[in-house]
Structures are given as C-alpha cells and as structure tokens.
A and B are shown apart, each in its own frame.
Chain A
Amino acid sequence: SQTIHQWPATLVQPVGSPLSLECTVEGTSNPNLYWYRQAAGRGLQLLFYSVGIGQISSEVPQNLSASRPQDRQFILSSKKLLLSDSGFYLCAWSVQVGNTFGSGTRLTVV
C-alpha cells in the first residue's frame, strides 16, 4: 500500500533562516506531488505541484521554492524565512484523482 512520509513534525525557526521540508512517497510510481500551506484556522492553499521529476508548477508567488530530485521525493525550501511563512505545511500525493496528505509540519517563524 502507499504511504507518505513528511518531516519534521514541528519546527521553530528564526526570521531570515533557511528552510527545508522533505516529503517522500512509498508504494507508487510517478505520483503527482503537492505542497499546501494552512494558516491557523484557515483553508488549504496550494503552493506547488509536480507531475514528474524536475517539473514544478508554482501556484502562488512567494518566498518559497520546491524541487523534485527523485520520483517520490518532494522538497520545500526557503533561503530566508519571513514571519508570514508560519503555518501548517502539508505534502500530498495523487495518481489519478484526489489528494492523500502527509501528517504535516507545523512551522513557527520567530
């Protein structure tokens, strides 16, 4: 069966520091991969999605970037975090329709 791993679960980072969040999927090949952000008490904002290695589509211009170095690995990065980058970051995958979410990373920028 397919599983999705996301880490770390929580992260506290100072303003201006870099960020790297990693997501991996097991049990499937060539999945579509997604990064979402959820601010406290708010909805799900799609940040990036990828349909294959090296293929990244950005939904919202911002302080973040994404990369897909391997078929089942998706990385969210920032060179310099802002206070507004705080939130709950969710990785997700799909093969046909729908999204299956990872357990999320709660990022607090201080």
Chain B
Amino acid sequence: GENVEQHPSTLSVQEGDSAVIKCTYSDSASNYFPWYKQELGKRPQLIIDIRSNVGEKKDQRIAVTLNKTAKHFSLHITETQPEDSAVYFCAASLGSGYSTLTFGKGTMLLVSP
C-alpha cells in the first residue's frame, strides 16, 4: 500500500519568514495530494490540494509543488503569521471516489511574533 513520509515533525519560524514542509510517497499511481491544517483541538481542514497533472498550485500565501518523477510534494507558506501555527498533514491517494487517503504523520508549525 501507499506510504507517506513527512518532514520535519516540528518547524519553528519567525513571523514573516517562509515555511516549507516536505512529503514523499511510495505509490507511483497516486495522483491526488491534499494538505490539511489542524489547529489545537479542532478538526483537520483542507487548505490546498494538487493533482498529478500540474506541478504547482498557489492560493495567496500558500503553494504546493509536486515532482511526480521523484515522488515528492511540498507545502510552501510565505509571510508566515502567528495564526498559521498549527499541525499540517500531507496526504496521497489514487484520486478516485473509492480510494482512501494515506496521511503523513504531521508537522507542527510554530510561528513566533
């Protein structure tokens, strides 16, 4: 089955800096890659996703890049703010209605004012 590795497990940055979280996956058939943000005690929420037919997707201060050849994808957050502090999860799936998501173990991002 699919295996998703996520690094780093913890990331501390100063407000205004950029943050990058990286994930690798094992199943070359995976073609859907979402990122979730989970604030303390709350549910994970989808913040951005990418399909394998594109290499990069951007939404304001967040962007995701995908390298299918190397089987890795990354989340980039620019101009970080304290409210970006949360746990971020990457995931991978086959992208069909019956496929399940395989999640990484999460990255705790701490943005200091």
Q: Please give the residue numbers on chain A whose beta carbons come within 8 Å of chain B beta carbons, in ascending order.
A: 32, 34, 42-44, 46, 49, 51, 59, 90, 94-104, 106
| A51 to chain B: closest residue by CB | B98
Q: CA–CA, A70 to B93, complex, Å?
A: 26
CB distance from B35 to the nearest CB of A (A): 10
Interface string of B21-37 (1 = CB under 8 A from A): 00000000000101000
Say whether A98 contacts B49, CB under 8 Å: yes
Say whether A98 contacts B43, CB under 8 Å: no
Which of B96, B97, B100, B105 makes the CB contact (< 8 A) with A46?
B100
Label chain B's interface by main secondary structure: loop
Label chain A's interface by main secondary structure: loop
CB distance from A44 to the nearest CB of B (A): 5
- Complex interface: chain A residues within 8 A of B43 (CB): 90, 101-104
- Complex interface: chain A residues within 8 A of B100 (CB): 34, 46, 49, 59
Q: CA–CA, A101 to B91, complex, Å?
A: 14
8 contacts between A and B (CB under 8 A): A34-B100, A44-B44, A44-B89, A44-B103, A59-B100, A98-B101, A100-B46, A104-B42
- Complex interface: chain B residues within 8 A of A49 (CB): 100
Contacts A34-B100, A95-B97, A96-B97: A43 and B32 contacting too (C-beta < 8 A)? no
Contacts A97-B95, A101-B43: A43 and B101 contacting too (C-beta < 8 A)? no
